[in-house]
Amino acid sequence: MNTRPAIESSNHPVALSACFNQDATCFAVGLNTGFCIFNSEPCQLRVTRDFKAGIAHVAMLGKANYIAIIGGGTHPKFPPNRITIWDDAKQRPVITIPVLSTIRSVRLSRSFIVIALHNSIHVYNFKSTPDVWAVFETADNPLGLCCLGEKRLAFPGRTRGQVQLVELGTKNLSIIPAHSGALVAIAVSRDEKTMATASETGTLVRVFATSNCARIAELRRGVDHATVFDVKISPGGMMVAVTSDKSTLHVFDVSHPSKPSISSATNSNRRLNSTGSMRGGSPAAEESQKWGLLGKIPLLPRVFSDVYSFASAHFEIGDEALYGATSPLNSPEGGFRAPKGVIGWTSDESIIVVGAGRDGRWEKFVIVEGDDGKRVCVREGWKRYLGAG
């Protein structure tokens, strides 16, 4: 007898997951009835596939036809311990990879298929008959944290709070002690030169150089505990966006190992007044240092000297319950946590935030200069992409 509560109605699609492709030009949504793919900007439906059964997770390879899918929901299309590579041009599965336990997430590149399990990462060569390239043990990873680029792979370490960073060309592995608490977000920049992390505490985001694993920034989201939903680095690698259950999107300036900081560039290019003199100092420095002169006083708590966001904006979480919020996405119990605040940078000035659940929302934010000359983040538009009224 099935005594589990229903988590979706049969007459309306429910988004079980949402995930951007590598350059955030598209996002894929796993539904209780199949999956669909949208263009990010503007939000337009590209592909929809009705399986009349649940897909818990979808991962795209660029804009190519290959899509990795995992079954989920109360009536899964595929077993939760099997990856299916779907060829949408042929509209059929072309590769299947069974594993021994529930899959938390999957990532694709042109060379590899990476499967995240609760306590391990399995890397396969991407070919018609995939073979195992490597297996890495991890601490508990119920969220399936994993970042796959062309040159590097990042995922939780064996000890909570640590990150393992693998160079795919050499298999060299580095261990980065990022946080004391369990990780909830890992992001690698598109040039793969920087990495950002957040922990279950939700107050700090740390940024590291991937070349030598040195910490290059510590960003304070806030002083109160929060559940961080997502962290992403901008295409140029000079900003970090963070969302949390506070329903706030924060945007920070960060240093880049091989580029001048935005604060330096802004200061050197500050607009001239009519006499040709520079107006004002570094706005990024002024905005990121919330406490001003207090931050320069020795021996004060670190909160006074931390780097704060230069802009923030409200995004919608909705008031629907997060069914099975304490359970992993593909738990055997059938519960799931509808992801919210999933970030995609479509440019260095444009951020898309999407959320799953019954109230599947797309929101666009832009970074512009305000009336006072400081940068602000404003919402430019929003849409319920599932067509709910």
Query: Residue 87: its pLDDT value, please?
Result: 93
Find out whether the peptide bond into 42 is cis, omega within 30 degrees of 0: yes
Residue 260 is predicted with a pLDDT of 65
Q: Is the pLDDT of residue 63 over 70?
A: yes
- Note the pLDDT of residue 359: 87
The average pLDDT across 275-285 equals 37
CA distance 79 to 89: 23
CA 36, CA 46: separation in Å to the nearest integer?
8
Query: Among 132-141, 296-305, 336-345, which stretch is predicted with the lowest mean pLDDT?
Result: 296-305
The CA-based diameter of the chain, rounded to the nearest angstrom, is 81
Give me the sign of the Cα torsion angle 324, 329, 335, 338.
Answer: positive
Q: What percent of the chain has pLDDT over 90?
A: 72
Supply angle C-alpha 145, 187, 354, rounded to 5: 85
Q: What per-residue confidence (pLDDT) applies to 324?
A: 38
Please give the pLDDT value at position 337.
Answer: 63
